[in-house]
Amino acid sequence: MNYQWYPGHMTKAKRMMQENISLIDLVIELVDARIPISSRNPDIDELGKNKSRLILLNKSDLADERANRLWLDHFKAKGYHVIEVNARSGKGLHAIGGAVKEACREKLERDRKRGIRNRPVRAIVVGIPNVGKSTFINSFAGRACTKTGNKPGVTKGKQWIRMNKDLELLDTPGILWPKLESEEVGRNLAFIGSMNDDILQLTELAAELIAFLLKHYRQQLADRYRMETPDDPETPLTVLTHICEDRKCYKKGQEADYEKAAAIVLDDFRSGRIGRITLELPDGSL
Ligand code: G4P
C-alpha cells in the first residue's frame, strides 16, 4: 500500500516549528499511546535540542494498560520526562504542573541565580496530526486561563495562553510530520486513522489489522464480534465473512459486503470498542 505525506506540508510544518521553537523553554510533545514510536518524529530531538522536554502519552485510555507502563519506563530510561494522559477526559493532566517544574528545573535554577523571578516557563505543544494537540490545549487550558495577547516582548501575532503564574502555552500547536520510514509505520498510522482513508485500500488495511488482533488480542476480537469459537484457526477473511453475517453487511443479491465490514472493524478499533489495544512495544515484540 502506498502511504504518503506531502513534501510541501512537511516544509511548511518544519519552518513553523523552527520559528516557534526559538521562543520557548519547553517542548510538550504528544504521542499516541497505541503507537508511541510510529506517531513521533525523532527529528524533534534535533529541533528541540537545548529545550526542556516533556512527552505526553496521550489517548492512553485506548491503549493497553500494561503497555502504557512499559512505554513510560522506556521514555524515562531515555531521559525524557513523561506522563500518561487522556486529553479528552482530562485524566492525568493534574500531574503536568509538577512535571513541567521537574523538566525545567535547570532553567528555573538559572533564572533564580540571575535574580530573575516570576518569569513563567513558555511551552509549545507539538505532535503529528490527530494525536490530540488541540484537545489537549483546550482541556488543559480549561476556562480559567486568559490569552495574554501581544504583550511587549512577544512576537506579534503569537498568542500565549497563561495557564498559571508559572506557565504560558503558545496557543498554536506545532505540527510534526510523521516519519514514514517503513511500511510498518505507515500501516500503524493508517490503523489509528492518521492517514487519509480515501487513498487507502480499507479492506486490505482491515485484514491486516485483523491478522494482528488474531495474533495478539484474539479474545477481545472474538468478544466484540461474537465469534463463538475463538480458538479455531481463523483467518482475516473468515473473520470479515463472520462480521458480514453478524452485522448483515450484504450487497444486492446477498453478496458479502467486505468493504462495509472492513469499515466497521477499523471504526471499532479506532474508537476503542474492540478494547484497549497497543500496536507496538518498546522491545519490538509486537
Ligand atoms: P490534533 O489537534 O493533534 O490534530 O488532534 P485533535 O485534538 O483534533 O484530536 C483528534 C481526535 O482525537 C479527536 O477526536 C479527539 O477528541 C481525540 N482525542 C484527543 N485526545 C484523546 C484522548 O486522550 N483519548 C481519546 N479517546 N481521544 C482523544 P475526533 O473524533 O476527531 O473528534 P471528536 O469526536 O472528539 O469531536
Pocket test for ligand 1, best of 9, 135, 176, 194 (most atoms within 8 A of CB): 135
Do 132 and 208 belong to one domain? no
3-class SS string, the chain = CCCCCCHHHHHHHHHHHHHHHCCCCEEEEEEECCCCCCCCCCHHHHHCCCCEEEEEEECCCCCCHHHHHHHHHHHHHCCCEEEECECCCCECHHHHHHHHHHHCHHHHHHHHHCCCCCCCEEEEEEECCCCCHHHHHHHHHCCCCEECCCCCCCCCCCCEEEEECCEEEECCCEECCCCCCCHHHHHHHHHHCCCCHHHCCHHHHHHHHHHHHHHHCHHHHHHHCCCCCCCCCCCHHHHHHHHHHHCCCECHHHCECHHHHHHHHHHHHHCCCCCCCCCCCCCCCC
Residue 233's pLDDT is 72
Question: Exposed, middle or buried by CB within 10 Å (0-12, 13-18, 19+), for 119?
Answer: middle
Taking a C-beta distance cutoff of 8 angstroms, is the pair 209, 191 a contact?
A: yes
How many angstroms is it from 67 CA to the middle of ligand 1? 21
- Domain-located, residue 176: no
Taking a C-beta distance cutoff of 8 angstroms, is the pair 64, 36 a contact?
A: no
The ligand 1 atom at the shortest distance from the C-alpha of residue 127 is 3
Do 164 and 216 belong to one domain? no
pLDDT mean for each 10 residues of the chain (286 residues): 67 85 94 97 90 97 98 97 96 94 92 90 94 93 56 58 89 87 91 83 95 95 84 85 93 91 97 98 86
CATH number at residue 110: 3.40.50.300
Residue 6's pLDDT is 67
* Pair type for strands 52-58 and 121-127: unpaired
88 lines ligand 1 (CB under 6 A): yes
- Domain-located, residue 193: no
Q: Among 153, 171, 189, identify where a domain stops.
A: 171
How many angstroms is it from 87 CA to the middle of ligand 1? 8
Number of domains in the chain: 2
Nearest CA to ligand 1 atom 22: 59
Do 166 and 207 belong to one domain? no
130 lines ligand 1 (CB under 6 A): yes
- Domain-located, residue 2: no
Q: Give the C-alpha separation, 12 to 56, whole Å.
A: 24
129 lines ligand 1 (CB under 6 A): yes
Residue 154's pLDDT is 43
- Domain-located, residue 183: no
- Domain-located, residue 121: yes
Q: Residue 233 sits in which domain range?
A: 201-271
52 lines ligand 1 (CB under 6 A): no
How many angstroms is it from 123 CA to the middle of ligand 1? 21
Do 73 and 156 belong to one domain? yes
CATH number at residue 261: 1.10.1580.10
Do 31 and 76 belong to one domain? yes
